[in-house]
């Protein structure tokens, strides 16, 4: 792994340390993505089929501390309010956000920048927490794309200037976007590369215009990403085995470098969530097969 | 109570002092919320059933000075114009505001930031007043949500940087919001937690989609708030006993940590208003029953 | 008169000097308000029933220098271009403005900030002129209210920080405002108080919803203003006696603290305008009756 | 000529030098206004009845250097690219601009600020060019009036702060402007005075609502301008004698202080353009009659 | 070649070095323009008739390093991620961009500024890369023209302040633009000159309103550009011979100073792309005929 050239010499050690912490020396990333308190309000935290523990914010910190993850991605406010008890967790600070109260067909999405890189750097120094990087959600095709493209480019540039890893969430979304396919997804990953991101989180498309399997087509997008590493969003909750098998194929056929999973993890009890992070990390970091990962999960979960 | 990690070491004493002043060492807050001069113009201060004393701005300062409250929340202009005579009052400076002249169905709400944290810190130092914290109203679901989310996050972060307590007023409001229920309210409190607020002021929803009582359902929202403390708005004026009983249940069943009351207090004569603050504070700070509080009120009011 | 607490100690003498210059030690203000070159373009300066002298900008400075006024309120450009010849005039710099070319039913009003407080302070120091304070027009209910509320709050705060008196022009105006009545006017004055203004200029409403006289009802608004002083706009030109009688009632029944008059003064010849300012000031500053003031006018005017 | 009071003492010599350079000690200005490369794209530079030399940008510099003008007003980019060869020319830097590609009935005009006064001051110092002042186009009545009014006020203030002459182009234009007449033009010149401009460039109206000649009515506008000097735009190309006669009447009856001419000059061959500038300057600076000026032109042009 | 006067003395050597590097001492420029990862997402990089190598971002760097070009124009993110392996390439940093997801008939184009000149200067110093200049895309006639005109002017001014070459991409585009012809193109090039650009990239119009050949008419636009040099966009892929012949005519009849080519180069295999850059450079830099260039290509390509 070369450090990008927008990381100044004086920050290269810092950057490499951050990068290695979250990738565990593998160039892959198991990201526990839990920014839904703003993005989805309480929808993902309370309701049928959701474990009652999920409703309290501390649940995700308990999972992050006791499970095996590369980093927990969440908003600064939560980290500021819980981090003192969870100093060993690696954090990716999600810098922007929006609620789900306005539907896309009413108004195109715009996630506003809540904290600056300068804020994060100061916070890291003051708190001594393991802030390893930052995340930004970019909705290409939204009528607010111009503002978000600018913010995304600046977030990445300034993160690198300060030795932080930069992760972009890229979603084609807006009144003018009818469907996503592999071409659009490849555009999203290539754009993340052109903006200088270290990782790009995408939602793997279900369809493509080519006569190849979804995982084969995913390879087009991971290739178009150049040396920016692709991680796939977990998406809607699904059963453990299906999830783990899909993850294995994404990585080993599709060429992705890990995962970004939230709901599939934190809607479980603490115990099961821990087991699930271990299973995921076995695939991501230890190159285990899906079946081995399932075994790991089953041996731990109740 | 842990200080949040975005309060730097050098400001932790300051923060704890501010926090303890307004909570009186209880982790609860009796907030006298009087920002209506901007929010509702003169509607709450003059008219039938409103005591004539309410029409003059000094009324709220007289109540704050002589009644038992945790803090008075109001705009900086008023504090600047009256504070010299009321140096012992604890103040929460409400930083943003809007009038009620444009209805939500005409234009979504946007309360603009009137003063910065830097202004407040300078003012506190110059005046020597007991400025304990700041407040910000956030309308989630408004088409201006992006700007307000950003301002709210920054207000909280910078308040903490300077040792001030941060209180968020969160209201789902806008053309796209049809109703509020406990899920939405839980979203509001959880979002306040993710933004890092110390307290979140909400309007307790009248309805929920679950077969439980309103106070039981409120518990879902106070749980979703994590370690951010929930205080309920007083809302429309109502009779004293009803108010106090409801407050007792909100705290003791619903899990809230106090109240944010304005009109129910200041529309009374000075004498009665003082009595009412004492009754409220007995529930909030002394853990009295509703009946005990009613007795306190009746023994003092005319 | 207490200085507001947002005037730092080091600026309190400066503030009191400015305040006393324009109030002549009475807590009242005779404001010669002449910002119409921008607000109304040339409509108020040339035409039937307007004295030809009014067409040249120097006319208002001649009146200000030779008549008896508390201060001349006008835009910085004019003060910069004429002030060197009129160094003894007290000035209130009107900081924002708009033309009348777009009607309210086409677009809600927005008067942009033309100069900052920093500009004014520098200009005062460089020129040595008697810059005593600043003015800002705020259109509540306009769709641009959010921006103007913010600017108004900042103008007042920064004016006070620098020892300048702050005067707010507050007008409810916009597509969503159908009528003004005393409740709305009371809202305007109370809001000015909450923003911290020293004076608020309003247009006295012709109607109210109560069975009291217009001047009695005006008292509600001056009471709602708290310790912010209310001055009434002169409005459309009217005959001298009517004007002076109304002014007397506004002050002595309605509780206002002076006037803000422009067209009624400057559309006269220099000689008559001077006489008229003397008559107004006799009511405002010397507590003369309307009849005495009329006599003063008649003895001087041609 | 008094220097305006917003020119600090330390800059008054600089201001007077700049003012005297462009007015040649006469309080009048012959402005060669050539900002059309942005404003009208290539429409004024190539086509039937336009001399082929006009198509190359250097043409206007050749005219400016060899003809008799007070100053050349054009955009900074051109001055930066040609000025080294034309160091003796006096320049007025036009600071804003827009193309003509969107018609007013589609969108109201907005000319964005391309360079700041700070840029101009730095450029002047670095290059040693005769930068005597700046120009700004203001479209009153446009829905973007608020932004432009602010920029115009700031441009004038900051120009004066740095000893530069400030010239305002004021045009009433927008969907809400149906016609211009002398009242509106007087409003434009009076507004320029209230903003503090040294010169205001207007388009002389063809009509007025009074029973007086166009030149008599122009006098109303030059009177309303106070001590801001009025110069008339050249407008559409017209024949030499008509142009010069009209210019003479504008100055000697209408009370204007010069001209702002572009197309009428640069659409001619270099030789004829030089002759034409000399004829214009004879009227403006030497107080020659129109016939004398025509003779000057005829004796030189081919 | 004179350095523009907005390049300060202290930066003139730097500017001349940058200019000479990319023009190879000829005043002409062979620009390998590869900003499509953002502009067109993956459309130009994967699909029928596109060589599979094109899908990976490194392809363009391989071409830039091994082919003969003046400079590679692309976004900073890519340069940061690949530049360490390609230190000898001359770079033009494309500063703004937008995706193609919103069609012009839905919303006018706006390419937001992703990095500032200050970022580029810092990056150049930190990395030691051959950053020779910057590029900015300006859509005249778009409803966002005002913002882009301002950004373009500032980008050019600040680039020159720091010794960087400034290249403008100018495209008339928006709902109000029906067609481009030579008059509009001449307006685009003249505007670039008025903004101070060193080079302007245009799309050569297919039609004109004059009875002359396309290349003759192009001459009008290159003449209107004054001393700003015009380079033509490559546009849609076309066959090698046609491309090279057209390029020759553009330069030798139309008066352009080079080319800006992307897709026509990078959609080929590395081997063929290298051959093609050599053929183009032979015309641009060595003044070879189209046939000689075709021979060069054929002798190398497979």
Which ipTM value was assigned to this complex?
0.96
For residue D244, what is the enclosing H or E element?
Answer: helix D240-252
Q: Which residue of E has its CA nearest to A146?
A: E112
Q: Which domain holds residue B211?
A: 9-301
pLDDT at E235 (0 to 100) = 67
CATH for D58: 3.20.20.70
Distance from CA of C86 to the nearest CA of D (A): 11
Report the residue from A154, A174, A193 with minimal CB separation from E37. Answer: A193
**Range with the poorest average pLDDT among A53-67, A260-274, B199-213, E61-75:** B199-213
Residue C4 lies in a domain: no
Which residue is it, tokens 């005591």? B51
Chain C residues at the B interface, defined by Cβ less than 8 Å, are 2, 4-6, 8-9, 140-141, 143, 145-147, 149-150, 153-154, 156-157, 160-161, 172, 174, 176-177, 183-184, 186-188, 190-191, 193-197, 220, 223-228
Question: Once rounded to an integer, what is the mean pLDDT over residues A95-101?
Answer: 97
Question: Once rounded to an integer, what is the mean pLDDT over residues B19-35?
Answer: 97
**Range with the poorest average pLDDT among A137-151, D159-173, D226-240, E246-260:** D226-240
Q: Across chain A, what does the average pLDDT equal?
A: 95
Are there at least 3 beta-carbon pairs closer than 8 Å between D and A? no
E-chain CB neighbours of D76 within 8 Å are 6, 153, 157, 196
Helix axes D240-252, D270-286, angle to 10 degrees: 20
Contact D38 E149 (CB under 8 A): yes
What are the tens digits of pLDDT across the range A221-245? 999 999 999 999 876 777 999 999 9
pLDDT at B141 (0 to 100) = 97
pLDDT at B176 (0 to 100) = 87
Q: Which residue of C has its CA nearest to B114?
A: C150
Instruction: Report whether pLDDT(B72) > 90.
Output: yes
pLDDT at A1 (0 to 100) = 64
Distance from CA of A175 to the nearest CA of E (A): 9
CA within 13 Å, CB half, E28: 22
What are the tens digits of pLDDT across the range A32-55? 999 999 999 999 999 999 999 999
* Residues D86/D121, Cβ–Cβ less than 8 Å: no
Residue B113 lies in a domain: yes
Q: Across chain B, what does the average pLDDT equal?
A: 95
Pick among B82, B114, B124 to test the C interface (most C CBs inside 10 A): B114
Contact A78 B9 (CB under 8 A): no
Residues β-bridged to residue B133: B92, B165
**Range with the poorest average pLDDT among B55-64, B155-164, C62-71, D227-236:** D227-236
What does the block give as tokens for A179? 């469907």
pLDDT at B178 (0 to 100) = 78
CA dist., res. D162 & res. D43, Å (int): 35
Chain A residues at the E interface, defined by Cβ less than 8 Å, are 2, 4-6, 8-9, 140-141, 143, 145-147, 149-150, 153-154, 156-157, 160-161, 172, 174, 176-177, 183-184, 186-188, 190-191, 193-197, 220, 223-228
Share of chain B above pLDDT 90, in %: 90
Question: Once rounded to an integer, what is the mean pLDDT over residues B259-275?
Answer: 97
E-chain CB neighbours of D83 within 8 Å are 5
CA dist., res. D21 & res. D24, Å (int): 5
Instruction: Report whether pLDDT(C1) > 80.
Output: no
The active-site residue, picked from C37, C94, C158, C201, is C201
Q: Is D122 a catalytic residue?
A: no
Q: Which residue of C has its CA nearest to B104?
A: C176
pLDDT at A235 (0 to 100) = 67
Contact D102 E145 (CB under 8 A): yes
Contact E149 D97 (CB under 8 A): yes
Residue A3 lies in a domain: no
CA dist., res. A13 & res. A9, Å (int): 8
What are the tens digits of pLDDT across the range B109-149? 999 999 999 999 999 999 999 999 999 999 999 999 999 99
Report the residue from B78, B83, B126 with minimal CB separation from C193. Answer: B78
Question: Once rounded to an integer, what is the mean pLDDT over residues E236-242?
Answer: 85
Question: Once rounded to an integer, what is the mean pLDDT over residues D228-246?
Answer: 89
Contact C98 D195 (CB under 8 A): no
Among candidate residues B64, B80, B62, B59, the one with its CA nearest the CA of residue B22: B64
Confidence of residue C211 (pLDDT cuts 50, 70, 90): confident
D-chain CB neighbours of C81 within 8 Å are 4-5, 193, 196, 226-228
Backbone angles phi, psi at B15, to 5 degrees: -60, -45
- Residue C277 burial (CB count, 10 A): 24
The active-site residue, picked from D201, D203, D219, D288, is D201
CA separation, residue A225 to residues A188, B173, E33, E102 (Å): 8, 40, 19, 22
pLDDT at E272 (0 to 100) = 97
Q: Which residue of A has its CA nearest to B210?
A: A47
Question: Once rounded to an integer, what is the mean pLDDT over residues C71-95?
Answer: 98
CA dist., res. D175 & res. A217, Å (int): 52
Distance from CA of D301 to the nearest CA of C (A): 41
Pick among D81, D82, D94, D139 to test the E interface (most E CBs inside 10 A): D81
Report the residue from E57, E83, E99 with minimal CB separation from A193. Answer: E57
pLDDT at D1 (0 to 100) = 64
Residue E125 lies in a domain: yes
What are the tens digits of pLDDT across the range D149-174? 999 999 999 999 999 999 999 999 99
Report the residue from A37, A81, A85 with minimal CB separation from B191. Answer: A37
Which chains pack against C, by 3+ Cβ pairs within 8 A? B, D
pLDDT at B302 (0 to 100) = 73
Residue D79 lies in a domain: yes
DSSP E strands in chain B: the ranges are 29-33, 71-75, 90-94, 96-97, 112-113, 130-140, 165-172, 199-202, 229-233, 258-261
Distance from CA of E208 to the nearest CA of D (A): 13
What does the block give as tokens for E171? 């495209």
D-chain CB neighbours of E154 within 8 Å are 114-115
E-chain CB neighbours of D106 within 8 Å are 176
pLDDT at C235 (0 to 100) = 67
What does the block give as tokens for D209? 């609502």
Share of chain A above pLDDT 70, in %: 98
Residue C250 lies in a domain: yes
A-chain CB neighbours of B154 within 8 Å are 114-115
Residue B204 lies in a domain: yes
Please give the residue that has the higher pLDDT: either A238 or A166.
A166
Residue B3 lies in a domain: no
Distance from CA of A85 to the nearest CA of B (A): 10
CA dist., res. B283 & res. B252, Å (int): 10
What are the tens digits of pLDDT across the range E138-195? 999 999 999 999 999 999 999 999 999 999 999 999 998 977 889 999 999 999 999 9
Question: Once rounded to an integer, what is the mean pLDDT over residues D286-294?
Answer: 97
Question: Once rounded to an integer, what is the mean pLDDT over residues B68-90?
Answer: 98
Q: Which residue of E has its CA nearest to D55?
A: E224
Instruction: Report whether pLDDT(A101) > 70.
Output: yes
Counted domains in chain C? 1
Instruction: Report whether pLDDT(D211) > 80.
Output: no
Instruction: Report whether pLDDT(D60) > 90.
Output: yes
């Amino acid at each position: 792994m070369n450090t990008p050239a927008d990381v100044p010499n004086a920050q290269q050690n810092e950057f490499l340390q951050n990068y290695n912490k979250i990738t565990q020396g593998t160039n892959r990333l198991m990201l526990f993505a839990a920014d839904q308190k703003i993005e989805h309000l309480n929808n993902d935290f309370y309701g049928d089929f959701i474990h009652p523990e999920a409703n309290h914010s501390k649940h995700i910190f308990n999972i992050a501390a006791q499970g095996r993850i590369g980093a927990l991605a969440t908003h600064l406010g939560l980290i500021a309010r819980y981090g003192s008890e969870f100093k060993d967790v690696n954090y990716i600070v999600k810098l922007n956000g929006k609620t789900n109260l306005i539907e896309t067909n009413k108004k195109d999405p715009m996630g506003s920048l809540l904290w600056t890189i300068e804020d994060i750097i100061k916070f890291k120094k003051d708190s001594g927490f393991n802030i390893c990087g930052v995340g930004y959600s970019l909705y290409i095709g939204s009528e607010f794309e111009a503002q978000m493209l600018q913010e995304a480019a600046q977030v990445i540039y300034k993160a690198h200037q300060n030795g932080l890893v930069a992760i972009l969430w890229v979603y084609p979304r807006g009144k003018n976007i009818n469907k996503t396919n592999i071409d659009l997804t490849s555009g999203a990953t290539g754009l993340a590369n052109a903006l200088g991101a270290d990782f790009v989180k995408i939602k793997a498309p279900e369809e493509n215009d080519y006569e190849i399997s979804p995982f084969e087509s995913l390879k087009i997008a991971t290739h178009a990403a150049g040396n920016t590493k692709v991680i796939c969003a977990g998406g809607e909750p699904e059963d453990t085995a299906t999830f783990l098998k899909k993850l294995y194929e994404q990585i080993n056929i599709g060429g992705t470098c890990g995962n970004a999973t939230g709901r599939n993890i934190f809607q479980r009890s603490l115990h099961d969530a821990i087991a699930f992070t271990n299973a995921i990390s076995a695939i991501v970091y230890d190159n285990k097969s899906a079946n081995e990962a399932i075994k790991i999960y089953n041996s731990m979960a109740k």
